[in-house]
Amino acid sequence: MDRITVSASRGPYSVLIGAGAIESLGAELDKAKLGQRRILISSERVWDFHGPLFRKIGADRTPILIEDGERYKNLNTVARLFDQLVKVQADRSTVIVAVGGGVIGDMVGFAAATYLRGLPVVHVPTTLLAQVDSAIGGKTGVNHPLGKNLIGSFHAPSLVVADPIVLGTLPRREFRAGLYEVIKYGVIAEPALLDRIRDSVTAIFARDGDAVAPLVAASCRIKAAVVSADERESGLRRTLNFGHTIGHALESVTKYKQFRHGEAIGYGMLAALAIGVARGVTPKSLYEEVEALITQLGPLPSVADISSKEVYAAIGRDKKVVAGTLHFIAASGRGQTVELTDVTEKEIKAAVKKIGLRA
């Protein structure tokens, strides 16, 4: 079992990673003196698969189940969750335990941030994406009809428990989508991850714990180090946006229907690498290495019908544009990044055409 400590403004918290980690959740909560009352919140799908794993946590009643899926990630679902919390009389002695993917984690985190002006939240992420990314760092929130994650707050968890065992039931496409985020960590910080994925892709897809747990642990360590140093995304945390400027734009112009988030990031990373290569910042060999790895994982949904003009327009509406300046993360080598603030429309359009978009 790996234990990583994240420092946050409201105090440090542990991320526990390893097969069987959920078994020790009850003891961990006791040890951290978290909540005399424990309220589990999950979705029907996740709970049907993994509810039995939580028998020993000492929760005092059955879980609150909320709708799962991006289209339910909104204030209505959170409002219904508040109704439930009032009904079960959640109070200041309560800890909320979120069990699910990134959608559940973000919504439950947001509810925990605001209910009674803030209750402690524990994340038990059940998708690869949530384990390597969304459960750590304290970003919470919901979508607005006019934009993704527009409403939210920072609310660091009190504990994160990432148990690779639950990934066994994840559909292959969801699992693969999470792997693109692991590739991201390889490019920005730990090239050995790229080698590891390439060399054990079969065992990884078979969800072999010995192959998957090290990917989760390494990714968590990188995310933990970055958010510990820069909780509010004023500098270093932006490196995590590698592949996300163009990836988010692809998701937005396709109304979040064509890609899983990680798939869009797969394309976004290739486009970012292409921009770097064209500028002479990124070694061409790195572009080729990542392209080969992405191809090895399996086909990405086609982008041939997406207009590069629309993608460029969507970038302008992104949260990563701060006071009119786009902070673009490029790779300057294996495991190294550089922030560019002068990437032009022409460069972006050329890069997205290179990865297959139409004019």
DSSP state of 358: B
If one asks whether residue 111 binds ligand NAD (CB under 6 A), the answer comes out as: no
Which range touches ligand NAD (CB under 6 A), out of 40-48, 229-237, 271-279, 348-356?
A: 40-48
If one asks whether residue 106 binds ligand NAD (CB under 6 A), the answer comes out as: yes
Residue of the chain from 189, 261, 308, 343 that contacts ligand NAD (CB under 6 A): 261
If one asks whether residue 130 binds ligand NAD (CB under 6 A), the answer comes out as: yes
Cβ closest to ligand NAD, residue 277 vs residue 294? 294
Interaction with ligand NAD in 135-164: which residues (CB under 6 A)?
A: 137, 139, 149
Cβ closest to ligand NAD, residue 22 vs residue 275? 22
Q: 37-42 and 2-6: which strand pairing?
A: unpaired
Q: Is 256 exposed, middle or buried (0-12, 13-18, 19+ CB in 10 A)?
A: middle
Residue of the chain from 7, 114, 169, 332 that contacts ligand NAD (CB under 6 A): 169
Residue 318: name the closest of 357, 348, 277 by CA. 348
If one asks whether residue 219 binds ligand NAD (CB under 6 A), the answer comes out as: no
If one asks whether residue 174 binds ligand NAD (CB under 6 A), the answer comes out as: yes
Q: Is the CB of residue 162 less than 8 Å from the CB of residue 111?
A: no
Query: What residue spans of the chain are helical by DSSP H?
Result: 25-31, 44-50, 75-87, 102-114, 128-129, 172-188, 192-199, 201-205, 209-229, 244-253, 261-279, 284-297, 308-316, 345-354
Q: Is the CB of residue 326 less than 8 Å from the CB of residue 241?
A: no
If one asks whether residue 123 binds ligand NAD (CB under 6 A), the answer comes out as: no
- CB within 8 A of 168, min separation 6: which ones? 207
Which range touches ligand NAD (CB under 6 A), out of 63-71, 115-123, 300-308, 320-328?
A: 63-71
If one asks whether residue 45 binds ligand NAD (CB under 6 A), the answer comes out as: yes
If one asks whether residue 127 binds ligand NAD (CB under 6 A), the answer comes out as: yes
Instruction: Please give the full DSSP string across 239-280, using - where no structure is assigned.
Output: GGGTTHHHHHHHHHHTTTTS--HHHHHHHHHHHHHHHHHHHT
Binding site for ligand NAD (CB under 6 A): 43, 45-46, 49, 68-70, 73, 100-104, 106, 126-127, 129-130, 133-134, 137, 139, 149, 166, 169-170, 174, 261
